[in-house]
Each structure stands twice: as C-alpha cells, then as structure tokens.
C-alpha cells in the first residue's frame, strides 16, 4: 500500500542559517565524520554510519545536523535515510563544504624540533 511514505523531515531554509551555526555543527568530531561519510556514500541510515558512539547519540547528531540545515532525511519504511544537502549548501555557502571535505589530513608529527643557531626568544 503506502510503502511510499517518502516523507521528508522538517528542515530549515538555508537562507536563514548563519555561517556560525554551520561551523558549530561541524566542530564536533563525530558530526564532521558523519558528514564526511555521507558525502562519500551519498546516503545512509542511522545504523549504517560507522562512528564510535551509541545509536542514540548518532540519532541526536543526525537531528542536530538536520536542524542546522546540513542534512535532509527521508522516511523510508522503518529507516531514516539521510544525505547531505550539497547543492543547496554550495549555493548558500560557496566553497565551504568543498574546502572542508577536501582538506588534507594533518601531518602526524610535531617532531621534537630544535632549532640550532640560537635561542628563539619568547616570553
């Protein structure tokens, strides 16, 4: 019958979203990871996301990301399928997602760096 409840959960208009709000949402490591995963996988259900927190916490983060405007979520049967609102975000904040998702990882070490040739005065 109505296996087609493709209902979409409420989400904000991106025009009303401040850049600070987006930054705050992406500042959490788990949420950033979720956005990264979704950007690569396209879509995923809550339970499919490989993040090191419990299910209820993932749900909380997905809610935060959706209410912030970063994700859209569709109801599909018993599961919620989420994906990044990439095109809308690119229109609202040009270059933002690209610069974040394409950022190269940091070099592992801050090696014990000692500079010969003098005291680097600080104080």
Partner DNA sequence: CGACATCTACGATACACATCGAACATGCAT
Partner DNA sequence: ATGCATGTTCGATGTGTATCGTAGATGTCG
Residue ranges in contact with a copy of itself by CB under 8 A? 7, 9-10, 12-13, 15-20, 23-24, 26-27, 29, 32, 92-96, 98-100, 102-107, 109-110, 121-123
Cβ atoms of 92 and 15 within 8 Å: the answer is yes
Residue 83 burial (10 A CB sphere; 0-12, 13-18, 19+): middle
In the complex, minimum distance from the CB of residue 68 to a copy of itself, in angstroms, rounded to a whole number: 12
Instruction: Return the residues of window 78-97 that contact DNA according to CB under 7 A.
Output: 78-80
| Distance in angstroms (rounded) separating the CA atoms of residues 10 and 29 | 24
Stretch that binds DNA, among 51-59, 90-98, 100-108, 110-118 (CB under 7 A): 51-59
Which among 8, 3, 5 is positioned nearest to 85, based on CA atoms?
8
**Which residue in the set 73, 84, 89, 93 belongs to the binding site for DNA (CB under 7 A)?**
73
Cβ atoms of 96 and 89 within 8 Å: the answer is yes
**Which residue in the set 11, 14, 30, 36 belongs to the binding site for DNA (CB under 7 A)?**
30
């Amino acid at each position: 019958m109505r296996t087609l409840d493709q209902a979409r959960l409420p989400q904000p208009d991106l025009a009303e979203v401040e850049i600070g709000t987006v930054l705050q949402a992406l500042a959490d490591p788990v949420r950033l990871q979720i956005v990264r995963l979704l950007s690569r996988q396209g879509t995923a259900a809550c339970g499919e996301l490989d993040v090191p927190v419990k299910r209820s916490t993932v749900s909380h983060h997905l809610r935060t990301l959706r209410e912030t405007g970063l994700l859209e979520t569709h109801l599909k049967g018993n599961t919620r399928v989420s994906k990044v609102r990439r095109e809308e975000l690119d229109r609202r904040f040009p270059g933002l997602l690209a610069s974040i998702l394409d950022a190269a990882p940091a070099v592992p070490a801050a090696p014990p760096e000692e500079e010969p040739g003098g005291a680097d005065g600080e104080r």
